[in-house]
């Protein structure tokens, strides 16, 4: 498959998302607060730098 120019690739993504996730009827506002729940899945050896601690979380 040949590579598409960026504008064609962006257009293909836009078309796909428009077809599969149509915009809500408009007039909706963003909520004042949103709550997300995560649980610790794994401790990591170190963070971005070796002296930092880190952990991996997943949706609960």
In tens, the pLDDT along 24-53 reads: 555 568 888 989 999 999 999 999 999 999
Instruction: Say yes or no to pLDDT of 57 above 90.
Output: yes
Using CA atoms, how far apart are residues 45 and 52, in angstroms rounded to an integer? 9
Using CA atoms, how far apart are residues 59 and 36, in angstroms rounded to an integer? 8
Rg, the chain, Cα only: 20
Tell me the CA distances in angstroms from 58 to 16, 23, 47, one per residue in order. 27, 27, 17
Q: Are 46 and 52 in contact (CB under 8 A)?
A: yes
In tens, the pLDDT along 1-25 reads: 567 789 998 999 988 988 887 665 5
pTM score over 0.75: no
Q: Are 60 and 41 in contact (CB under 8 A)?
A: no
Instruction: Say yes or no to pLDDT of 55 above 90.
Output: yes
Tell me what pLDDT residue 24 has: 59
């Amino acid at each position: 498959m040949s590579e598409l120019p960026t504008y064609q690739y962006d257009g293909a993504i836009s078309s796909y998302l428009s077809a599969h996730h149509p915009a809500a009827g408009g007039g909706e506002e963003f909520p004042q607060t949103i709550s997300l729940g995560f649980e610790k899945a794994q401790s990591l050896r170190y963070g971005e730098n070796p002296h930092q601690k880190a952990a991996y979380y997943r949706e609960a």
